Amino acid sequence: MALPPEKISELKQIIHNQLSQGDVQRRIREMLAESMQEEFEGSKNPMGEQEMFNRHVLSFSPFWEWGQLPLLKQRGVVDNILQQIQFEGSTSKPATHMRGEHMLENIADRKTNIDPTRRYLYLYIKSGKAFLEHIDDDSGTPGQVTSYFTFHILFRGQRFKSRPVACACEPDIDEGFLLELHKDGAGEAGKMADPTTMLSICDPIHIVLVKTDGLGETTLVSSHFLEWRPVLTNSSSRLATALELKGTGSENNVAAGVIDIQVELFPKTKQSLSKDVITAQIQLERSRHAEQERLFLVYAKQWWKEYLLIREVHKERLVKIFAQDENGNNRPVCSFVKPLRAGRLLHSAREAARFVSLIHQERTPTLGGGARTEQWTTMHAFLARNKGDCEDHAVLLCSLLLGFGLDAYVCVGTQKKSAPHAWVMTVSIDGLVTFWESLNGHRYIHEPLDPYALPMDKRHRPKYPYKTVGCVFNHQSFYANNQPTDNIEVCQFNLRDDARWKSMSHDAIMSVCGSGASPVWPQFPPLSASTIDPALASNDLEQQLRVLVMEHRRDMGLTTVWDDQLSYLLSPSLAAYEIERTIGLTPGNEEFSDSINQAVPDGHTFKGYPAQFTHRNARKIFATCLRHKDCEPIIHCRGDHVRMAVRVLVRPYPESTCATWIMFACKYKCIV
């Protein structure tokens, strides 16, 4: 299967890590010693070091033909390494990622991370069918894959990502996931879960299917919540079924495809529950949630009527109480936000803002023309797709800032051109209001103007990118703008002032958005660590860009000479750019200027062009830079003693996002 360059680099790094493990190296050394003893014992012409290396070690290179694996493959070393290679592993230690329908039959003999005193749920996805949109993909060129599927699994804080599977009408998936049923903690949570305990676990398994095309663009195909508890009715603790996956957005009532799955408990239970008990429990939970939603809707309608009675103009303001997710479910906007702790993956609120800004933005696609379609994606689906609209970015940033202990809110209003928009606001203990733009990481201090003062000169007016604000909310509060005008320049953000902000009841919000209030709404997923090796990724992309520059200049009849020292000297500048984007302050860079001045001889000219991207596609980066008026003269540089330079800095962040900084440069002597 043909993979994009990013996946190839990632696979190289994973293979390198596996080969670097002490156990693998020990087994190779033992195999070589044994082979030497068996084959050359008593021989008058012992094998030399170089010959031994060529025969046994070089043949194991993962980039050689697999047919050249004589002894290592026979001894099982290769098979063990291949079993461990994955594109991305689990982000939660209690669970295990496996393949195979009968994996659990010999699970006790495998060295998986399993606690025999706890119970697990094994989800196996065998194959797919009826993915009719990809019926033409089956007739493609053999060995060439233009797009692929990836399954993302979330269950009780455990996340998994499957290997890429070629898109087809009937994809061969063959992927298994071992999920732990217990919650972390001592006491009752540390015991083996019995059927009665498992019956009360109402968390569904969230299955997200993402399609990635040949250019690396992702599409959310399906977002399904699997009810797994019917497995408790089977005496063998195993349940096989065909699961229909629905589309998303405007296609949420249309089948995207069918997958054959198997759910199995490990260890098996000694007793099973009747179907009537399972059905009654599920219906009880859903009816309780439906009643809570009904009561909240009644309260919201009355609250909205009271808000409209204050001023007639209030009906024109963007007061967003409910929003629709990717499955077409209407949910209170407060239910989308929840404090999210990033562990050791992010170290500050500003670094969190930088991370969110690197996630791609894309408006929800629509068929035909018309107004913009608004869709608030669940957090797991947003992170799995690694792409979303401004509302998704704002919700994630607000959740991260809440996790860092800030008083943060999502703001809904309009931009300068009156387009609907969402951003984040924090209020300090001293009342200082800061706006955070989640799409680019910029921060703005809010200083309200006096509406009765004389008009200010445009040069001195606040330079917010926002025009109006209709409401602000987080996971437990909702406030609608109750001021005479919703113009953000004159708004006061003392949210406790009832004359300026109309609040919803805290108890009413928590009844539908509190912890455990809704079994059908998913829990927030933990962030996954990056799998990108920054040094390897930077070097790989830099070499690709060098080749593209050389080929482009050769087509123009120009020769290319690289200056490795000059390329190295560009590193401090790229590092300074990333620091500035993260903390908002420009670090001193006098040393960089001094090093460039010393590297460029008298009479020579230096030119440099920096740029930042959120991907690592060399051809797209080169094409974009070549179109820029400042970069084109560097790539096409002519003169005497022309020396070219390029430097790449890849700064990885969670969820495999990255900031890719590149700088093209040249030095030359002008020809008069």
Q: Which two tokens stand for residue 74?
A: 């026979």
At 9, is the pLDDT very low, low, confident or very high (cuts 50, 70, 90)?
low
**50 by DSSP, 3-state: which?**
helix
Place of tokens 């109750």: 482
- Tell me what pLDDT residue 1 has: 46
Q: Where are the alpha helices (H) located in 514-570, listed in sequence order?
A: 534-555, 564-569
On the question of pLDDT at 635 being above 60, the answer is: yes
Q: Can you tell me the distance from the alpha carbon of 560 to that of 11, in angstroms, rounded to the nearest whole number?
A: 31
Quickly list DSSP for 228-240.
-GGGGG-TTSEEE
**Tens digit of each residue's pLDDT (9 = 90 or more) over 292-313:** 999 999 999 999 999 999 999 9
End-to-end CA distance of the chain: 53
Q: Which two tokens stand for residue 305?
A: 């009527």
Cα–chain center distance at 406: 23
Nearest to 616 by CA among 646, 651, 644: 651
Residue 609: how many other CB atoms lie within 10 Å: 18
Nearest to 409 by CA among 496, 478, 486: 478
Q: Which two tokens stand for residue 125?
A: 């996805």
Q: Can you tell me the distance from the alpha carbon of 92 to that of 357, in angstroms, rounded to the nearest whole number?
A: 25
On the question of pLDDT at 15 being above 50, the answer is: yes
Residue 654: how many other CB atoms lie within 10 Å: 19
- Tell me what pLDDT residue 426 has: 97
- Tell me what pLDDT residue 13 has: 62
Q: Which two tokens stand for residue 330?
A: 């209407």
Residues of the chain above pLDDT 90, percent:
59
Q: How do the domains of the chain map onto residue ranges?
A: 5-84, 96-273, 283-365+373-513, 534-669
Q: Can you tell me the distance from the alpha carbon of 391 to that of 380, in angstroms, rounded to the nearest whole number?
A: 14
Q: Which residues pair with 510 in a beta bridge?
A: none
Q: Can you tell me the distance from the alpha carbon of 91 to that of 109, in angstroms, rounded to the nearest whole number?
A: 23
Length of the chain: 672
Q: Which two tokens stand for residue 622?
A: 């080169």
On the question of pLDDT at 51 being above 80, the answer is: no
Give the right CATH number for 534-669 from 2.40.100.10, 3.30.450.40, 1.20.1300.10, 3.40.33.10.
3.40.33.10
Q: Which two tokens stand for residue 13?
A: 């790094």
Average confidence score pLDDT of the chain: 83
Q: Which residues pair with 480 in a beta bridge?
A: 471, 502
Residue 366 phi/psi, 5-degree rounding, is: -130, 155
Residue 74 burial (C-beta neighbours within 10 Å; 0-12, 13-18, 19+): exposed
Q: Can you tell me the distance from the alpha carbon of 440 to that of 350, in angstroms, rounded to the nearest whole number?
A: 11
Residue 451, C-beta contacts closer than 8 angstroms, at least 6 positions apart? 485, 490
Calculate mean pLDDT across residues 382-405.
96
Q: Can you tell me the distance from the alpha carbon of 178 to that of 164, in angstroms, rounded to the nearest whole number?
A: 18
Most confident of 17-26, 116-125, 342-351, 510-519: 342-351
Point out the least confidently predicted range of 59-63, 165-169, 232-236.
59-63
Q: Alpha carbon of 46 to those of 34, 54, 72: distances in Å?
A: 14, 15, 21
**Crossing angle between the packed helical segments 77-84 and 5-20, to the nearest 10 degrees:** 130
**Tens digit of each residue's pLDDT (9 = 90 or more) over 99-140:** 655 555 555 444 456 777 788 999 999 999 989 887 666 545
**Tens digit of each residue's pLDDT (9 = 90 or more) over 597-623:** 999 888 889 999 999 999 999 999 999
Place of tokens 């984040």: 424
Q: Can you tell me the distance from the alpha carbon of 467 to that of 411, in angstroms, rounded to the nearest whole number?
A: 12
Q: Which two tokens stand for residue 284?
A: 């009880």
Q: Can you tell me the distance from the alpha carbon of 313 to that of 310, in angstroms, rounded to the nearest whole number?
A: 9
Instruction: Indicate the residue type of 166.
Output: A
Q: Can you tell me the distance from the alpha carbon of 481 to that of 151, in angstroms, rounded to the nearest whole number?
A: 41
**Crossing angle between the packed helical segments 77-84 and 22-40, to the nearest 10 degrees:** 160
- Tell me what pLDDT residue 589 has: 79
- 148-155/205-212 β-pairing: antiparallel
- Tell me what pLDDT residue 470 has: 95
Contact by Cβ (8 Å): 330, 382: no
Residue 338, C-beta contacts closer than 8 angstroms, at least 6 positions apart? 399, 402, 475, 524
Q: Which residues pair with 424 in a beta bridge?
A: 410, 436
Place of tokens 């107004």: 371
Q: Can you tell me the distance from the alpha carbon of 636 to that of 642, in angstroms, rounded to the nearest whole number?
A: 10
Nearest to 471 by CA among 520, 509, 512, 507: 509
Give the right CATH number for 283-365+373-513 from 3.10.620, 1.10.405, 1.10.10, 3.40.50.
3.10.620
Most confident of 75-79, 91-95, 408-412, 445-449: 408-412
Residues of the chain above pLDDT 70, percent:
76
Torsional sign, CA 247, 252, 257, 259: positive
Calculate mean pLDDT across residues 172-188.
77
Biggest CA–CA distance in the chain, Å, is: 103
Q: Can you tell me the distance from the alpha carbon of 385 to that of 360, in angstroms, rounded to the nearest whole number?
A: 9
Residue 620 phi/psi, 5-degree rounding, is: -65, -40
Q: Which two tokens stand for residue 617?
A: 């596609």
Place of tokens 């562990």: 343
Residue 9: how many other CB atoms lie within 10 Å: 21
Nearest to 667 by CA among 612, 617, 615, 603: 603
At 363, is the pLDDT very low, low, confident or very high (cuts 50, 70, 90)?
confident
Q: Can you tell me the distance from the alpha carbon of 413 to that of 420, in angstroms, rounded to the nearest whole number?
A: 6
- Tell me what pLDDT residue 616 has: 93
Calculate mean pLDDT across residues 320-346.
94
Most confident of 102-116, 355-369, 387-401: 387-401
Q: Where are the alpha helices (H) located in 233-378, listed in sequence order?
A: 275-310, 349-357
Q: Alpha carbon of 613 to those of 110, 625, 660: distances in Å?
A: 42, 11, 5
Nearest to 353 by CA among 234, 441, 425: 441
Residue 318, C-beta contacts closer than 8 angstroms, at least 6 positions apart? 412, 413, 414, 420, 468, 470, 471
Calculate mean pLDDT across residues 527-533.
93
Task: For domain 96-273, give the fold.
Answer: Immunoglobulin-like (2.60.40)
- Tell me what pLDDT residue 136 has: 67
**Tens digit of each residue's pLDDT (9 = 90 or more) over 452-507:** 665 655 665 667 899 999 999 999 999 999 999 999 988 999 999 999 999 999 99
- Tell me what pLDDT residue 651 has: 96
Q: Alpha carbon of 240 to those of 146, 172, 231, 425: distances in Å?
A: 31, 17, 9, 48
Nearest to 121 by CA among 243, 200, 205: 205
